[in-house]
A and B are shown apart, each in its own frame.
Chain A
């Protein structure tokens, strides 16, 4: 494979960090392992399959039509429809970006002992500076490369010699072993953290930034599979280490400091620092994605010039959109809101809005005006139909389950 093709996998890994390895996914995977050992691994597996499909399609749309998912939804469904998912996306982006900034702040608190809210403004400035000075290539390759440190969770899971038979059984869907409300709440949280609307908007924008065309369709499939596969394996590693380290001690995850113990089990004192650095890097990557995604979505909704590969003077409304979003979201941490609670709340909200974002896929991916001969086949349409059904169920149960099982 040519070096350029190898580097393109970076878009997949960068996207997967926001989906699988951000502050929400780390918290839910650790909670799942600590509370139910391996029994929720099947949810991560199903989530991964859904996510591979959900990023491959907008990637294909962008490569063939040179239009992003946000463009296509507004064009095909009209402003009257598009305004609702976009307003919901603003709210969720604002909260999630706040939570991701909080994740970096918590990582710095773990490393320095200085309370997280003091880090909010320096972290926000660092995120903004990277977006302001960096190009899309620099960000995707940098985050993807640094993100490889999270493989420590996979190594940790292997070093701890999990009971492979019990672990394999975790991939078979099963009813709750105990505490059904908490079990299903955690299952919906895992799915909510994985299937986020940002995936569709961000990945298709990234494909345009990377200049993909029809010749890149095979690569798109590979990037979706490898990138999401990477995120999935790391998330499973987190769940397994939490199951091996936290579950036997009866530790329930209600602070990020407790999740740090997962890597102390296999790696001793170094594990603590490894966790903090992994949390910091992945959340920083997720901050970049969320901030850029806000810029992408606003610009594409209103037809502005956009692009992280452009210099700020060439796309001023786009750069101001992400600048304002970083500033606004950082305030959530400055006032000291608990990042973990904010994360769980944003994930429930994400689950509620998902059907609005995912349902148009079925129409757009079958529109020959956009995709010509590359429209969905019956198999992909069936999978999308099932995913849409799943998002409706999640939307209905997310809030009730948060009340019943979230505490």
Chain B
């Protein structure tokens, strides 16, 4: 079904950010599941225009939408012990290629913090257990 969906709208057309982008599954250039869109970042420019600049990924950002305080706690835990150090990863909006059911990002997720935990678990735990590969 996802293949039937249109590319991101052209300049001047409308985009339903909450319905079609926020909380959507992100898939990278190599079709790897790369997290959900946990937040959307907009910037208010001097000329009064509101410009969408990035989509965000990071559990603290998603949780902040429910409770800012709990989100901050999770971010603090992440900074202390997390592989991503509590970082909210921002993907420039011009890398977001497709909306609809999925959001395609024009990046290799492996080269970004999006798959940092996946790689850390692979290198430090999973690959050392017999039968993992």
Q: Which of B44-81 contact A (CB under 8 A)?
A: 57, 59, 62-63, 65-66
**B127 contacts chain A at the CB level, 8 A cutoff:** yes
Q: Which of B12-59 contact A (CB under 8 A)?
A: 18, 22-26, 32-36, 38, 57, 59
Asked if B117 and A65 make an inter-chain contact with CB atoms under 8 angstroms apart, the answer reads no
Question: Which of A66, A80, A313 is the one whose CB lies under 8 Å from B66?
Answer: A80
Asked if B129 and A132 make an inter-chain contact with CB atoms under 8 angstroms apart, the answer reads yes
Asked if B132 and A303 make an inter-chain contact with CB atoms under 8 angstroms apart, the answer reads no
Task: List chain B positions with a Cβ less than 8 A from chain A.
Answer: 1-2, 4, 18, 22-26, 32-36, 38, 57, 59, 62-63, 65-66, 100-101, 117-118, 121-122, 125-127, 129, 131-133
> Which residues of the partner chain B approach A317 to less than 8 Å between Cβ atoms?
117-118, 121
Asked if B118 and A79 make an inter-chain contact with CB atoms under 8 angstroms apart, the answer reads no
Asked if B22 and A303 make an inter-chain contact with CB atoms under 8 angstroms apart, the answer reads no
Question: Which of B22, B117, B126 is the one whose CB lies under 8 Å from A313?
Answer: B126
Asked if A303 and B133 make an inter-chain contact with CB atoms under 8 angstroms apart, the answer reads no
Given A67-B101, A303-B33, A303-B35, answer yes or no on A75-B23 (Cβ-Cβ < 8 Å).
yes
Jot down 27 A-B pairs with beta carbons below 8 A, ordered by A.
Answer: A65-B1, A66-B2, A67-B101, A71-B25, A74-B36, A75-B23, A75-B24, A75-B25, A78-B18, A78-B22, A80-B65, A304-B33, A304-B35, A305-B32, A311-B132, A312-B132, A313-B126, A313-B127, A313-B133, A316-B118, A316-B122, A316-B125, A317-B117, A317-B121, A319-B126, A319-B132, A369-B101
Alpha-carbon separation in the docked complex, A83 to B36 (Å): 14
Given A65-B101, A74-B23, A75-B23, answer yes or no on A313-B33 (Cβ-Cβ < 8 Å).
no
Chain B: minimal CB distance from A73 (Å):
10
> Which residues of the partner chain B approach A313 to less than 8 Å between Cβ atoms?
122, 126-127, 132-133
Q: Is the interface of B mostly helix, strand, loop or mixed?
A: mixed
Alpha-carbon separation in the docked complex, A168 to B99 (Å): 54
Alpha-carbon separation in the docked complex, A67 to B101 (Å): 9
Alpha-carbon separation in the docked complex, A258 to B23 (Å): 49
Asked if A320 and B32 make an inter-chain contact with CB atoms under 8 angstroms apart, the answer reads no
Chain A: minimal CB distance from B60 (Å):
12
Asked if A78 and B100 make an inter-chain contact with CB atoms under 8 angstroms apart, the answer reads no
Q: Which residue of A lies closest to B37 (CB)?
A: A303
Given A312-B126, A316-B122, answer yes or no on A302-B59 (Cβ-Cβ < 8 Å).
yes
Q: Which residue of B lies closest to A82 (CB)?
A: B23
> Which residues of the partner chain A approach B122 to less than 8 Å between Cβ atoms?
313, 316
Chain A: minimal CB distance from B112 (Å):
14
Alpha-carbon separation in the docked complex, A396 to B65 (Å): 29
Alpha-carbon separation in the docked complex, A301 to B59 (Å): 11
**A372 contacts chain B at the CB level, 8 A cutoff:** yes
Chain A: minimal CB distance from B103 (Å):
10
**A370 contacts chain B at the CB level, 8 A cutoff:** yes
Q: Could you mark each residue 307-342 of chain A with 1 if its beta carbon is under 8 Å from any beta carbon of chain B, else 0? A: 000011100110110000000000000000000000
Asked if A78 and B23 make an inter-chain contact with CB atoms under 8 angstroms apart, the answer reads yes
Alpha-carbon separation in the docked complex, A78 to B63 (Å): 11
- Interface size of A by Cβ–Cβ distance < 8 Å? 30
**A133 contacts chain B at the CB level, 8 A cutoff:** yes
Given A312-B131, A320-B126, answer yes or no on A79-B65 (Cβ-Cβ < 8 Å).
yes
Q: Which residue of A lies closest to B36 (CB)?
A: A303
> Which residues of the partner chain B approach A301 to less than 8 Å between Cβ atoms?
36
> Which residues of the partner chain A approach B2 to less than 8 Å between Cβ atoms?
65-66
> Which residues of the partner chain B approach A133 to less than 8 Å between Cβ atoms?
131
Alpha-carbon separation in the docked complex, A319 to B125 (Å): 11
Asked if A132 and B131 make an inter-chain contact with CB atoms under 8 angstroms apart, the answer reads yes
**A95 contacts chain B at the CB level, 8 A cutoff:** no
Chain B: minimal CB distance from A368 (Å):
10
Alpha-carbon separation in the docked complex, A103 to B103 (Å): 43
Alpha-carbon separation in the docked complex, A296 to B24 (Å): 17
Question: Which of B38, B101, B132 is the one whose CB lies under 8 Å from A75?
Answer: B101
Question: Which of A66, A71, A132, A316 is the one whose CB lies under 8 Å from B121?
Answer: A316
Chain B: minimal CB distance from A126 (Å):
14
> Which residues of the partner chain A approach B36 to less than 8 Å between Cβ atoms?
74, 79, 301-303
Alpha-carbon separation in the docked complex, A313 to B80 (Å): 26
Chain A: minimal CB distance from B14 (Å):
15
